Amino acid sequence: MRRINNNLGLLWSVLVWGVMVVMSVSAVAESEGPLVVHSAWVPQAPPNIGVMAGYMSVVNVSSDPIVIAGLSSSAYEEVQMHQSLVEDGISTMAEVKSVVVGPGARIEFSPGGLHLMLIAPVSTDSSADTVPMTLHLADGGWIHFTLDIVAKTARPEVDVSDAHDHSMHAHHGS
């Protein structure tokens, strides 16, 4: 019986990652702004957790480099960009103040690499399906998008055909 439970746990883990891969491949990237944000997600937080990691893909659809100067969210007191590092065999994280996205380039915010740190939720309400976010550009522009909240265990009723673009409301310049 224990072997069956272990295999089911592995199956659920593979299913969750498979859903996320399909979502990232099937997301359609369209935007009027210089950057397109898609496949943006955050794991569902357990109760009383003060810090969560968020992930997304950012594509520069312009012919100029674009600098991401920071992020904010009405759902968290602070949002930072962090890079996971391994130094002398010890895993650490370092805050990244800005990220340059070259013309036509894609930047992945992913587990074990560059990622978002969502710090100090402003509410304990766990009924939301998304986290509102704003990406701030060095030129004063901004892009509003959302992070989908993804359950840590796979749900068979997840319909990946409903995957959608998160590049909502792009504003370039002041």
* Per-residue CA distances from 112 to 82, 87, 116 (Å): 10, 14, 11
Confidence class of residue 127 from pLDDT cuts 50, 70 and 90? confident
**Spatial CB neighbours of 14, under 8 Å, sequence gap ≥ 6:** none
Please say if the pLDDT value at position 94 is more than 70. yes
Please say if the pLDDT value at position 159 is more than 80. no
pLDDT at position 126: 79
Q: What's this model's pTM, rounded to 2 decimal places? A: 0.70
Per the prediction, the chain carries an average pLDDT of: 79
pLDDT at position 4: 52
Rg (CA), the chain: 17
DSSP SS3 for 163:
coil
Hey, what CATH class is 2-171 in? mainly beta
Listed by start position, the domains of the chain span 2-171
pLDDT at position 153: 62
- Read off the tokens for 52: 């969560």
**Spatial CB neighbours of 138, under 8 Å, sequence gap ≥ 6:** 66, 67, 68, 69, 98
In DSSP notation, 33-95 reads SSEEEEEEEEEPPPTT--EEEEEEEEEE-SSS-EEEEEEEBTTEEEEEEEEEEEETTEEEEEE
Q: C-alpha 174: how far from its chain's center?
A: 25
| Cα–Cα distance, 9 to 23 (Å, whole number) | 21
Q: Write out the H or E segment, with its range, that includes residue 17.
A: helix 2-26
